Amino acid sequence: MQKKVNLSDYNPATVPDGSDYRIAIVVAEWNPEITDALLQGAYDTLLQHGVQEANIKVLHVPGSYELTTGADIALSDPRCDAAICLGCVIQGETRHFDFICEAVSQGLTNLSLKRERPVIFGLLTTNDMQQARERSGGKHGNKGTEGAVTALKMIHLNRQRQ
Ligand code: RBF
């Protein structure tokens, strides 16, 4: 089996067609150089897999901590099939890093179960800006792309719910 360098090297044939999917992308404004690149990766990947531009809604929130509320607002529309959440938290001197990462990961998990729809965790949590760049279109791929692929696969799975 071929060794995966990163999950952005996915096989397009395994991704469901998204032509009747409605997807929200919720993106944090902190570290915009990174989050803009994640957004671009997610958006382009959804288009490549048939999602119609009119069915992609982009919501901006101030920081990663607000991703959960932003996704909840997006999913308050019952026609919205999934929310892809994108943000970047760089580890600093303070414990804010841990608080934000913990709150977002718990928040998104709980929201997905509450709304019974996929909520995708596309939050980069890196030691420095260099690592963030490598994961938003650099040598470790683009986590926005991976978030979009995950959303398409999870919507397909969710539509099999009894
Ligand atoms: N938001 C991010 O998306 N990435 C960060 O790296 C980040 N660092 C923060 C550091 C501190 C000390 C504080 C107070 C906030 C930070 N935020 C960051 C913003 C946070 O996600 C949220 O928008 C604010 O705390 C307001 O709820």
**Pocket lining: 97 vs ligand 1, CB cutoff 6 Å:** no
User: How much is the pLDDT for 9?
Assistant: 77
Is residue 125 within 8 Å of 89, Cβ to Cβ?
A: yes
* 58: three-class secondary structure by DSSP: strand
Among all chains, which residue has been given the structure tokens 């977002």? 104
**Strand 23-28 relative to strand 56-61, pairing:** parallel
Cα–Cα distance measured from residue 120 to residue 21, given in angstroms and rounded to the nearest whole number: 15
Residue 60 annotated to the active site: no
For 140-155, the pLDDT digits (tens) are 999 999 999 999 999 9
Q: Are strands 136-138 and 23-28 parallel, antiparallel or unpaired?
A: unpaired
Average pLDDT, the chain: 94
pLDDT given for residue 92 in this prediction: 77
The pLDDT-based confidence of 67 (bands split at 50, 70, 90) is very high
Q: What pLDDT score was predicted for residue 26?
A: 99
The pLDDT assigned to 5 comes to 56
pLDDT at 105: 98
**Upper half-sphere CA count for residue 51 (Cβ side, 13 Å):** 30
Name which residue leads in pLDDT, 81 or 13.
81
**Residues 87/63, Cβ–Cβ less than 8 Å:** yes
pLDDT of residue 153: 97
Per residue in 104-141, pLDDT tens?
999 999 999 999 999 999 999 999 999 999 999 999 99
Indicate if ligand 1 lies below 6 Å from the C-beta of 28: yes
Confidence check: pLDDT of 88 > 90: yes
What is the predicted pLDDT for the residue at 93? 61
pLDDT tens, residue by residue, 28-41: 999 999 999 999 99
Ligand 1, from 26, 29, 30: best to mutate by most atoms within 8 Å of Cβ? 30
Residue 4 confidence (pLDDT): 53
Q: Do strands 56-61 and 119-126 pair parallel, antiparallel, or not at all (unpaired)?
A: unpaired
